[in-house]
């Protein structure tokens, strides 16, 4: 495998659709309230992608160094685990993507606020810096929060609330009550994807002392937690649409919950964690589908 292919492997491009779902919905919400800004949209997408790639590089490095990625791992093999990239190369990759992320944060904030609004600029610069920190510290270092069971909280906050509410604010400079509902929906679904990953890796994480929520509460209760997350997502999105719809087709985002419901029945029937691997892509793509349908129906139709 070439070095370019190795870096693509470490970047895990398949994770990108889920990562941009929050900003797609935040942009759609802004459009629904009459605010549009293409430079903010495109620079925001690039920033989100840079955050995700930074996180993927860091996860590859952190889990590889700690020995979590070993012969017991069920999912796709990682770059460091397979020897495709060295520790030193991955470190450089993390630093490079983190710096690029910072540059993109400044770019999107300039398009949103200009140089004049220092208060908003500083607040969002801090939030952007925290996003980069969270992307790296999930698995890297002795105090990696992913190994202490806090990953779910951070995913809900950064992939859900901050992604949707933050991107909405970049356009509008305000937050109202209703936009919290789609933010909660995206956060719950994103946390569901992480939880499904942790369900799949239950046995190997337990052996590696990676104390995820699933390791703490067990596989059985982890599945109940999973159904709860997906139920919260549906209820949040449903009530947002009910309170705000003008036309019947604005219920179309709920179509994404058809494959999610099928996914739930699959998880109910699955006893062996290894068999959950194929469900990860289905849930992630269903979340992305929801965001695209939401964007089309609330921003354009």
Calpha distance 59→196 (Å, rounded)? 17
> What's residue 117's pLDDT?
86
> What's residue 66's pLDDT?
73
Grade residue 9 by pLDDT with cuts at 50, 70 and 90: confident
More confident residue, 64 or 176: 176
Grade residue 257 by pLDDT with cuts at 50, 70 and 90: very high
State the DSSP string of the chain. Answer: --HHHHHHHHHTGGGHHHHHHHHHHHHHHHHHTT---HHHHHHHHHHHHHHHHHHHHHHHHHHHHHT-SSTT--SPPPTTTTTSS-HHHHHHHHHHHHHHHHHHHHHHHHHHHTTT-HHHHHHHHHHHHHHHHHHHHTTSSTT-GGGTT-HHHHHIIIIIIIIIIIHHHHHHS---STTHHHHHHHHHHHHHHHHHHHHHTHHHHHHTT---HHHHH-HHHHHHHHHHHHHHHHHHHHHHHHHH-SSGGGGGGGGGHHHHHHHHHHHHH--SGGGGHHHHHHHHHHHHHHHHHHHHHHHT-
Number of Cβ within 10 Å of residue 161's Cβ equals 16
Is pLDDT above 90 for 163?
Answer: yes
Q: For 280-300, how does the pLDDT look when each residue is reduced to its tens digit (9 = 90+)?
A: 999 999 999 999 999 999 987
Calpha distance 124→247 (Å, rounded)? 35
> What's residue 1's pLDDT?
61
Is pLDDT above 70 for 244?
Answer: yes
Grade residue 243 by pLDDT with cuts at 50, 70 and 90: very high
More confident residue, 89 or 171: 171
- pTM of the entire predicted model: 0.93
> What's residue 115's pLDDT?
85
Mean pLDDT of the region 141-150: 87
Is pLDDT above 70 for 70?
Answer: no
Distance of CA 36 to the CA centre of its chain: 23
């Amino acid at each position: 495998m070439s070095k370019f292919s190795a870096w693509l492997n470490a970047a895990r491009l398949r994770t990108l659709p889920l990562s941009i779902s929050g900003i797609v919905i935040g942009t759609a919400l802004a459009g629904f309230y009459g605010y549009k800004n293409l430079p903010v949209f495109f620079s925001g997408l690039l920033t989100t992608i840079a955050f995700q790639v930074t996180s993927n590089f860091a996860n590859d490095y952190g889990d590889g160094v700690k020995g979590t990625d070993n012969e017991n791992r069920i999912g796709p093999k990682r770059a460091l685990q397979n020897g495709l990239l060295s520790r030193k190369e991955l470190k450089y990759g993390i630093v490079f993507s983190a710096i690029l992320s910072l540059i993109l944060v400044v770019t999107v904030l300039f398009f949103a606020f200009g140089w004049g609004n220092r208060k908003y600029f500083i607040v969002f610069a801090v939030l952007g810096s925290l996003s980069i920190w969270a992307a790296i510290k999930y698995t890297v270092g002795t105090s990696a929060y992913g190994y202490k069971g806090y990953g779910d909280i951070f995913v809900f906050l950064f992939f859900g609330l901050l992604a949707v509410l933050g991107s909405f604010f970049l356009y509008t400079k305000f937050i109202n009550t209703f936009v919290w509902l789609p933010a909660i929906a995206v956060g719950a679904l994103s946390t569901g994807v992480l939880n499904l990953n942790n369900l799949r890796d239950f046995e190997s994480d337990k052996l590696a002392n990676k104390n995820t929520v699933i390791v703490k509460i067990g596989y059985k209760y982890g599945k109940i937690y999973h159904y709860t997350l997906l139920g919260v997502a549906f209820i949040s999105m449903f009530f947002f649409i009910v309170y705000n719809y003008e036309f019947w087709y604005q219920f179309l985002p709920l179509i994404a919950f058809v494959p999610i419901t099928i996914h739930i029945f699959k998880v109910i029937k699955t006893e062996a964690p290894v068999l959950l691997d194929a469900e990860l892509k289905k849930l992630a793509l269903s979340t992305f589908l929801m965001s695209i349908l939401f964007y089309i129906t609330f921003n354009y139709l």
